[in-house]
Amino acid sequence: MTGLPDITERTLLACYERVLRTKPDELAQLDPAARYTFAESFQRSLRLGTGLTAHRVGRGDPVALLLDNSLDMVHSWTGIGLCGLVEVPINTAYVGGFLSHVLNDSGAGVLILEDHYVPRVLAVAAELTALHTLVVRGDLDRAADARKRFRVVPFDELDTAAAGAPVRGGPADLLAYMYTSGTTGASKGVLISHAHAYTYASREDQGRPDPGDRVLVTLPLFHLAGQWYGGYQALIHQVRCVYEPGFSVSRFWDVLREHRITVTVLLGAMAELLQQREPRPDDADNPLEFAMMAPLASDIFGFRERFGIDVAAVYGMSEIGGVLYGPPDTIVGGECGFPRDGYELRLVDPEGQDVPVGQVGELWVRPEHPETVMAGYHNQPAKTAEALRAGWVHTGDAFRMDEHGRFFFADRMKDALRRRGENISSFEVERVINEFPSVYESAVVAVPAELSEDEIKAVVVPRQGAEIEFVELTEFLLDRLPYFMVPRYFEQLTELPKTPTHKVHKHVLRDSGVHSGVWDREGAGIVLRRGSLPQ
């Protein structure tokens, strides 16, 4: 453990230059189809980034990515960063208005995407205002219809470009627009600098990964946790990183053993699924030594003992990076960790006063270096001013702190939900539900899930004289929402409980939970997973 480099050295290029001085020819990155040394990774990233500049993008311009996990995705975002462009990774479950909003708001003229996502873009083509070029990974014939509206370029063409010189920018230069989940409205593009991304990804001040470690990434690369807290972290620590297409309960331990993985990142729900499998006598006979987990599994000590690994708690968000860390030797159930050096944290009441130890307050964060938190929200000065005040980032998340200075997540200040690692906007789900012809109004709330985090319950009020068929409503939502936003539970009421100012009493709906009058989508045989989406 050495500590982070000077703020001026927290850039993607500086990170690559350090590893190229020490171990250029060591194996750096693997996926099921390819493998690259650190030097090969750098050169390929430069080729892809240079290739993009031939398609009407220049320094500081956004480039959108709608890609599955692969080294093509990895080298696309690193190539974008090395060449002075700005990446806009898009959740691969996005369809309809969710997809068009990110493309239009970001202003991206170029989108790199898998061939099987082209129909989604064509479905919203009439709404798109800036997109002019599709760089298609895969079968170009699947994009034949797209040529009527866009310039279509094969991904391999980027890889044949002559690698140009990297752009030597500073730590405050933008690296990405990372779009939030839209918990209080349409999703916002968080402006993230090189120093912000580096500081979020690095654990140079916290220990593992150590030299010789091997990191496994199973989380999606459009998320910060997969792209930065997994892959970028491995690059910073100059260790090997293995990328999988996704998380598989049945394959997880086999992949670990095959590649002798020692470090990984897990969501709490992933740990719950692993723990639910029938115990085996060789559960602890695996190479994994250390897992970073957010949130912690419900039985964190049982998980740690059964599989023979150390577990650390972490907490972060796009706007602030990673600001809490709970070391394995002090871990307690439910915690998010202690404040990380370089950040000042406060818990405050609605009047902005610090709350006593043990009481819940909103988390405010002030960084030592302004570059290590967001620069603002893209094209949203009012939202930026609301979140950034006098050097403090107002997170909107509620925490409590114990007498030891350890932080525990309490709730979201707004009506957000979290399901299977995805933050979900109740506002956005309600908006789409309300488009269903027989729905007058709706309210979406969280109810306890079987694994961890939340399940979603939608409470709907029918239009006068109308009947709401929940199977039909579910089918309607499947065409308009990412699969993880489609509610599991539905309840019909004649009216929603409201305050005198006509705001919905969501706590009443949450407290009513799941009862005999609630329709269960999964109980009706409609079970949704990422792979079940039509492509």
Last residue of a domain, one of 192, 209, 238: 192
Q: What is the pLDDT of residue 449?
A: 75
Residues 267 and 395 in one domain: yes
Please state, in angstroms and rounded to a whole number, the distance separating the CA atoms of residues 453 and 161. Answer: 45
Give the relative orientation of helices 470-478 and 426-433 as an angle to the nearest 10 degrees: 120
User: pLDDT category, 535, cuts 50, 70, 90?
Assistant: very low
Question: Which one, of 200, 205, 195, 202, lies nearest residue 236 by Cα?
Answer: 202
What DSSP letter does each residue of 385-452 carry, written as one string? HHHEETTEEEEEEEEEE-TTS-EEEEEESSSEEEETTEEEEHHHHHHHHTTSTTEEEEEEEEEE-SSS
> What is the pLDDT confidence band of residue 414, given thresholds at 50, 70 and 90?
low
302 domain residue, yes or no = yes
Alpha-carbon 482 to chain mean position: 14
Q: What are the φ and ψ backbone dihedral angles of 44, each rounded to 5 degrees?
A: -65, -40
Going by their DSSP bridges, the two strands 310-317 and 321-326 should be labelled as antiparallel
Determine the pLDDT at residue 362: 94
- Round to whole Å and give the CA distance between 444 and 455: 10
For residues 396 and 424, state if they share a domain: no
Same domain for 341 and 472: no
Mark whether 184 and 99 lie in a shared domain. yes
Lowest mean pLDDT among 5-9, 12-16, 207-211, 528-532: 528-532
Q: What is the mean pLDDT of residues 446-470?
A: 87
CATH number at residue 148: 3.40.50.12780
Residues 458 and 346 in one domain: no
DSSP 498: B
Cα torsion for 338, 340, 344, 349, to the nearest 10°? -30
Question: From residue 203, how far is each of 55, 106, 234, 304, 528 by CA, in Å?
Answer: 36, 30, 10, 21, 35
Q: Where are the alpha helices (DSSP H) in 124-262?
A: 155-159, 194-201, 224-226, 233-236, 252-259
Residue 500 pLDDT: 47
Question: What is the rounded CA–CA span in Å between residue 43 and residue 217?
Answer: 22
Asked whether residue 382 falls in the same domain as residue 451, the answer is no
- 433 found inside a domain: yes
- Residue 415 pLDDT grade (very low, low, confident, very high; cuts 50, 70, 90): low
Q: Which of 177, 44, 34, 196 is nearest to 101 (CA)?
A: 177
Q: What average pLDDT does the chain have?
A: 92
Same domain? For 130 and 72 the reply is: yes
Rounded to an integer, the average pLDDT of 219-223 is: 94
Q: What's the confidence (pLDDT) of residue 521?
A: 95
Residue 219: C-alpha distances to residues 71, 197, 211, 311, 347 (Å): 14, 17, 23, 17, 30
At 454 the pLDDT is 80
State which of 360, 384, 412 marks the end of a domain.
Answer: 412
- Per-residue pLDDT, 507: 81
Q: Are residues 401 and 483 in the same domain?
A: no
| pLDDT at site 501 | 47
Cβ atoms of 422 and 181 closer than 8 Å: yes
Determine the Cα–Cα distance for residues 419 and 446; give it in Å rounded to an integer.
9
How far is C-alpha 256 from the geometric centre of its chain's CA atoms? Answer: 23
**Token reading at 172:** 């405050």
128 with 271, same domain: the answer is no
Q: Is the pLDDT of residue 429 over 50?
A: yes
Instruction: Return the pLDDT at 412.
Output: 67
Residue 534 has pLDDT above 60, yes or no: no
Calpha distance 347→324 (Å, rounded): 14
Name the pLDDT band for 256 (thresholds 50, 70, 90).
very high
Q: Is pLDDT of 533 > 60?
A: no
Q: Is residue 295 reached through a cis peptide bond, with omega within 30 degrees of 0 on the bond before it?
A: yes
φ, ψ of residue 360 in degrees (nearest 5): -85, 135
| Residue 442 CB partners (closer than 8 Å, separation 6+) | 430, 433, 434, 458, 459, 460, 461
- Which of 112-126, 274-288, 407-421, 509-523 is the most confident on average? 112-126
**Tokens encoding 280:** 């085996």
Which pLDDT does position 183 carry in this prediction? 45
DSSP code, position 504: B
Entry pTM: 0.85
Instruction: Could you list the beta-strand ranges (E) of 46-169.
Output: 62-66, 86-89, 110-114, 133-137, 151-154
pLDDT (mean) for 60-68: 98
Residue 118: inside a domain, yes or no? Answer: yes
The answer on 188 and 41 residing in a single domain is yes
227 part of a folded domain: no
| 157-187 pLDDT per residue, tens | 999 999 999 999 999 999 999 998 754 457 8
Percent of the chain beyond pLDDT 70? 95
What's the number of domains the chain is made of? 3
Instruction: Kindly report the CATH number assigned to the domain that includes residue 477.
Output: 3.30.300.30
- pLDDT above 80: residue 425: no
Domain residues for 317?
A: 247-412
Task: Kindly state the tokens that stand for 260.
Answer: 């002798």
**Low-confidence winner among 233-242, 375-384, 411-420 (lowest mean pLDDT):** 411-420
Q: How far apart are the first and last CA of the chain?
A: 45
Return the higher-pLDDT residue of 317 and 499.
317
Q: Do 471 and 366 lie in a common domain?
A: no
| Percent of the chain surpassing pLDDT 90 | 80
Same domain? 276 vs 401:
yes
- List the single range of 191-205, 266-280, 287-301, 519-533 with lowest mean pLDDT: 519-533
Question: What is the reported pLDDT for 452?
Answer: 63
**Stretch 37-61: mean pLDDT:** 97
**pLDDT tens sequence across 347-398:** 999 899 999 999 989 999 999 999 999 999 999 999 999 999 999 999 998 8
- d(Cα 376, Cα 388) in Å, to the nearest integer? 7
Alpha-carbon span 460 to 434, nearest angstrom: 9
